[in-house]
Structure 1
Amino acid sequence: MASERYSGYRKNFLLILTFIVLISALFVLSLFLAYNFSKKFIENEFVSEKVKVLEESIKPYNEFFTNKVPEISYYNGYLDSATTAKFVDTVLNDYPFVSKVVFYDSEINNFYVKDGLNARKHFSFGPKNIYQFGDFVPLDSVKLFSKENTKNFTIGDDFNALGIKFISYIAALDTGKVPSQDELFTNFSIIRSNKITYLNIPRIEDLKVYKQMLHRQLNPMPVYQQDMLSFFLDPYKIRIINTRKKLYQNIRIEPLTYDPLNTSTDYVATEITLPGPFSDYKLYFISAKSFVDQEILSYFLPIALVILVFYGLLVLVAYLIYRNLNINHKMFKLQYDFVNNLTHEFKTPVSVIKIAGNNIKSANTLTERELKLYGKILDEEADKLNGLMNKLLAFTQIENKAIQLNRDEIYIEDFIESTVESHQLKHPDFNVTYEVSGFITFITDPVLLGSLFDNLVENAYKYSPPELKRLHISAKLVKGKVIFRFIDQGIGIPTPEINNIFKKFYRIQNQYNQNGSVGLGLAFCKELVNFMKGEITVKSKVNKGTEFKIVLPYNN
Structure 2
Amino acid sequence: MAYNQLKYRKNFGLLIAFVILVTILFGVAMLAARSMIANFIETEFNNRKVEVFDRSVQPFHEFFNDKIPEISYYQGYLDSVKAASYVNDIIRKYAFVDRVLFYDIAITNSDTVETGIKYNNLLVYPKSITSFYLNEENRLIAQRPENTQTRAYIDDFNTMVLKFVGFLDRVNESTSMSNDDIYRVFYALNPGKVIYMNIPRISDLLAYKRMMSVPDTNFVAYDQDMFMFLIDPSKIQIKNVAENLYEKIAILPIVSGSVSDQHYYLQTELSLPGALSDYKLQYTSSEGFINKEINRRFFPVSLGISGVYLILIFIAYLIYRNVTINSRLFQLQYDFINNLTHEFKTPVSVIKIAGNNIQSSEKLSTEEQRMYGKILDQEADKLNSLMNKLLSFAQIENKSIKPNKEEVQVEEFCEPIFEAVKLKYPDLNFTYTIDVQNHMMVDTTLLLSVFQNLIDNAYKYSEPQRKFLHIDVQQNKKNFVIKFKDKGIGINKKEFNSIFKKFYRVKNQFNQQGSIGLGLAFCKEIVDFMGGEIKVDSVPSEGTTFTLLLPLGPKKN
- 1:59 is matched with 58
- 2:414 is matched with 416
Whether the 8 Å CA contact 1:488–1:547 is kept in 2: the answer is yes
**Judging changes above 3 Å, is the alpha-carbon distance between structure 1 residues 186 and 553 closer, same or farther for their aligned structure 2 residues?**
farther
Q: Per the alignment, in what secondary structure is the counterpart of residue 323 of structure 1?
A: helix
522, 533, 541: which one aligns with 1:543: 541
Whether the 8 Å CA contact 1:144–1:151 is kept in 2: the answer is no
- 1:9 is matched with 9
The Cα of 1:19 is off from its aligned counterpart by: 0.9
- 1:301 is matched with 299
308, 317, 320: which one aligns with 2:318: 320
Which consecutive residues of structure 2, in runs of 5 or more, have no partner in the other structure? Answer: none
Give the AA of the match of 2:342.
H
State the TM-score, normalized to the length of structure 2. Answer: 0.90
What is the CA deviation profile of residues 74-129 of structure 1, one whole-angstrom value per residue up to 9, with x for unaligned ones?
33333333433333233233322222222222233344462654343222322333
**Judging changes above 3 Å, is the alpha-carbon distance between structure 1 residues 432 and 84 closer, same or farther for their aligned structure 2 residues?**
farther
- 1:250 is matched with 248
Structure 1: distance between partners of 2:8 and 2:322: 14
Structure 2: distance between partners of 1:205 and 1:520: 119
328, 331, 335: which one aligns with 2:329: 331
- 1:144 is matched with 144
The Cα of 1:173 is off from its aligned counterpart by: 5.0
Whether the 8 Å CA contact 1:116–1:124 is kept in 2: the answer is no
Q: Per the alignment, in what secondary structure is the counterpart of residue 509 of structure 2?
A: coil
**Judging changes above 3 Å, is the alpha-carbon distance between structure 1 residues 277 and 472 closer, same or farther for their aligned structure 2 residues?**
farther
**Judging changes above 3 Å, is the alpha-carbon distance between structure 1 residues 186 and 2 closer, same or farther for their aligned structure 2 residues?**
farther
1:232 lines up with 2:230 in the alignment = yes
- 1:81 is matched with 80
Whether the 8 Å CA contact 2:188–2:195 is kept in 1: the answer is yes
Whether the 8 Å CA contact 1:476–1:483 is kept in 2: the answer is yes
Whether the 8 Å CA contact 1:119–1:214 is kept in 2: the answer is no
Q: Per the alignment, in what secondary structure is the counterpart of residue 108 of structure 1?
A: strand
Structure 2: distance between partners of 1:185 and 1:113: 32
Structure 2: distance between partners of 1:522 and 1:215: 128
Once superposed, what is the RMSD of the aligned Cα atoms? 3.0
- Counting only pairs closer than 5 Å after superposition, residues 75-474 of structure 1 correspond to structure 2 as 75-112=74-111, 114=113, 117-136=116-135, 142-144=142-144, 153-154=150-151, 155-172=153-170, 176=174, 178-217=176-215, 223-260=221-258, 262-265=260-263, 269-474=267-472
Which consecutive residues of structure 1, in runs of 5 or more, have no partner in the other structure? Answer: none
Whether the 8 Å CA contact 2:88–2:140 is kept in 1: the answer is no
Q: Identity over the aligned pairs, expressed in percent? A: 45
Structure 1: distance between partners of 2:380 and 2:451: 22
Q: Which runs of 4+ in 1 moved over 6 A?
A: 137-140, 149-152, 218-221
Number of paired residues?
552
Give the AA of the match of 1:40.
N
What is the CA deviation profile of residues 311-336 of structure 1, one whole-angstrom value per residue up to 9, with x for unaligned ones?
11111111111222222212221221
**Worse-superposed segment, 442-451 or 519-528:** 442-451
485, 488, 502: which one aligns with 1:487: 485
Structure 2: distance between partners of 1:475 and 1:123: 134
Whether the 8 Å CA contact 1:460–1:488 is kept in 2: the answer is yes
Structure 1: distance between partners of 2:303 and 2:424: 67
Whether the 8 Å CA contact 1:144–1:150 is kept in 2: the answer is no
Structure 2: distance between partners of 1:384 and 1:152: 129
The Cα of 1:189 is off from its aligned counterpart by: 0.9
Give the AA of the match of 1:24.
T
**Worse-superposed segment, 271-280 or 383-392:** 271-280
Give the AA of the match of 2:26.
F
What is the CA deviation profile of residues 5-49 of structure 1, one whole-angstrom value per residue up to 9, with x for unaligned ones?
655633x21100111112112222222333333333334444443
Give the AA of the match of 1:80.
D
The Cα of 1:65 is off from its aligned counterpart by: 1.7
Whether the 8 Å CA contact 2:264–2:284 is kept in 1: the answer is no
- Counting only pairs closer than 5 Å after superposition, residues 486-505 of structure 1 correspond to structure 2 as 486-505=484-503
**Judging changes above 3 Å, is the alpha-carbon distance between structure 1 residues 420 and 221 closer, same or farther for their aligned structure 2 residues?**
farther
Whether the 8 Å CA contact 2:8–2:327 is kept in 1: the answer is no
